[in-house]
Structure 1
Amino acid sequence: MTNTLSGFSMVNHVGITVSNLEKSIIFYEALTGKKIANKDEIGGKRMAQTQGLDDTRIKYANLHLDNINIDILEYVEPKSNKANYSNDQISAMHMCFEVDDIEAAVARLKAIGVEPDGAPIVFEEQDGLKSGFGTGVAYFTDPDGTNLELIAPKGPFARG
């Protein structure tokens, strides 16, 4: 694989800092239907320097999905503080899971004890979009409040 400085065309992983690694492993395995690939611990002053910290110790697990990996991270040192981001705040990010059927996906969420933040919708012309009609979306959070989304994409939201 050729990698160039301007080759920002593929995402390797998204990292999610959690309060309890074991609890979050259970959640993300139930959500995705996949088992973690590994669980380990990393840290020390060299690792800390990459993040602008003095020292660090991180318990983590990796979950491999078909198109992206999820790194689940519990910072033991320094101890993490809880961030509170809603989707409308600047610098807030969310991870979106692509599904075929928004209603079936929401039913799966509810089956594992997760309630959507609000009622899911399917975009219609009245929603102000110029395209993408028929795309379904729903928002929810993980046990620590990380913003997550489901999308059943149509039109420009679908991968080419």
Structure 2
Amino acid sequence: MNQGFSLVNHIGITVSNLEQSIIFYEALTGKKIANQDQIGGERMAQSQGLKDTLIKYANLQLGNVNIDLLEYVTPQSSRANYSNDQISAMHMCFEVEDLPAAMARLKEIGIEPEGEPIYFEAQDGLKAGFGTGVAYFTDPDGTNLELIAPKGPFTRVK
């Protein structure tokens, strides 16, 4: 058995309002939530270094990774603020075939990109990947996200 890491199982995103986040992530991905429930208690809390916890959650299954949306009821969450240029800040990137169509779905629920979407050109200093489109935005709680319509070396090998 391989002792290394080969797959990402899930990405957990702490949210302030589970129902609002479900609407957002279903619109973003075009997929429906696969499971919604709650978990908690002292044993779960101890695994996270907490005294007690109650977490309402929903799972969104994508082809290669699951997204866990987590609303902490106990303890009540505090808001973190990161911009893409801060050390330890992370963002999650969703691959799409049609960037304008994906952006239109987000605009329908009131989400605007951080800046205008761009398509890489030779002037961007790239040696390959021309035509790749990217857009950056945040979810309703400020989580940094990206959409990419990949070309060239940015295309996933299937």
TM-score category (smaller protein): over 0.9
- Residue pair 1:31, 1:112 contacting (<8 A) in 2 also: no
Match of 1:151 in 2: 148
Between the aligned partners of 1:40 and 1:34, the Cα distance in structure 2 is 18
* Aligned 8 A contact 1:134 1:154 in 2: yes
Deviation at 1:125, TM superposition (A): 1.2
- Aligned equivalents of 1:93, 1:147: Cα separation in 2: 7
- Over the matched positions of the two proteins, sequence identity in percent amounts to 78
Q: Stretches of 4+ moved more than 3 A in 1?
A: none
The match for 1:59 among 56, 60, 65 is 56
- TM-score, length-normalised on structure 1? 0.92
**Counterpart residue number, 2:85:** 88
Q: What's the C-alpha RMSD, in Å, of the aligned pairs?
A: 1.3
Equivalent residues of 2:27, 2:105 under 8 A apart: no
Q: TM-score, normalised by structure 2?
A: 0.93
Q: Residue 18 in 1 paired to residue 15 in 2?
A: yes
Tell me, yes or no, if structure 1 residue 36 matches structure 2 residue 21: no
What amino acid is aligned across from residue 139 of structure 1 in structure 2? Y
Q: How many residues align?
A: 157
Unpaired runs of 5+ in structure 2?
A: none
128, 136, 139: which one pairs with 1:139?
136
Matching residue's letter, 2:3: L
Give 1:154 shift: 1.2
Q: Determine the C-alpha separation between the residues in 2 that align with 1:41 and 1:104.
A: 33
Q: Which amino acid aligns with 1:75?
A: Y
Residues 27, 106 of structure 2: 8 Å contact kept: no
> How far off is 1:45 after superposition?
1.4
Q: Which residue of 2 aligns with 1:74?
A: 71
In structure 2, the residue corresponding to 1:61 is in which secondary structure? strand
Contact 2:28/2:102 (8 A) holds in 1: no
2:6 corresponding residue in structure 1: 9
User: What is the CA-CA distance between 1:144 and the residue it aligns to?
Assistant: 0.5
Once the 2 structures are TM-superposed, how far is the Cα of residue 56 of structure 1 from its aligned partner? 1.2
SS at match of 2:22: helix
> 1:98 aligned to 2:95?
yes
